Amino acid sequence: MSESGGSNSAADVAARAAEAYEALGGLAETVEDEWQYVTDLVDAYLPSIRGLVGADPGRALAADVIAAVDEAICEIALITDPHKAIDWLSTFPHLVALALGGDVDRRAGAADGAVGDLDTADLHTTEPDGDSPFRLLRGGR
């Protein structure tokens, strides 16, 4: 069990992240002018978050991985402004994927090279950005 009281299996951690993401999407949907954009983001990323369990959904995760995902969940749970929730809809899935070692830009269950509904290919570079705040999540690389 993790400190948050949840299980340490990949399936349980991904399920907690997906549940938190759905709640974040619900808050963001209250911005009427952005409803379609929010719906598109949630539809694109929610299956991918659930798909981060990998081939062995029952595998135990390291304590630091569980802590990273649970901390991200706690962080988005603090959001009360629907506009800020919209900002986090595209950030949170990537944080979870970094922690779990997956890729949320690929549709869950899609063949290698298949990209999800969002065109994010132009966001990826072959070299890591040394100024990126995600550098630490990548192990300082």
CA-closest candidate to residue 25, choices 74, 75, 85: 85
Residue 115 resides in a domain:
yes
Residue 18 resides in a domain:
yes
Please state, as a whole number, how many other Cβ atoms lie within 10 Å of the Cβ of residue 9. Answer: 17
Cα–Cα dist 117/121, whole Å: 11
Cα–Cα dist 48/110, whole Å: 10
Residue 50 resides in a domain:
yes
Over the stretch 12-60, which tens digit does the pLDDT of each residue have? 999 999 999 999 999 999 999 999 999 999 999 999 999 998 878 888 8
Query: Long-range contacts for 37-41 (Cβ within 8 Å, ≥24 apart)?
Result: 37/86, 38/86, 38/89, 40/117, 40/118, 41/89, 41/90, 41/118
pLDDT in the model for residue 104: 87
Residue 4 resides in a domain:
no
pLDDT in the model for residue 123: 38
Over the stretch 105-133, which tens digit does the pLDDT of each residue have? 865 444 443 444 444 443 334 444 455 44
**Torsion sign (Cα): 117, 39, 122, 105:** negative
Question: Between 2 and 103, whose confidence is greater?
Answer: 103
Instruction: Report pTM.
Output: 0.72
Q: Which domain holds residue 112?
A: 10-123
Residue 70 resides in a domain:
yes
| Number of folded domains that form the chain | 1
Residue 45 resides in a domain:
yes
Residue 137 resides in a domain:
no
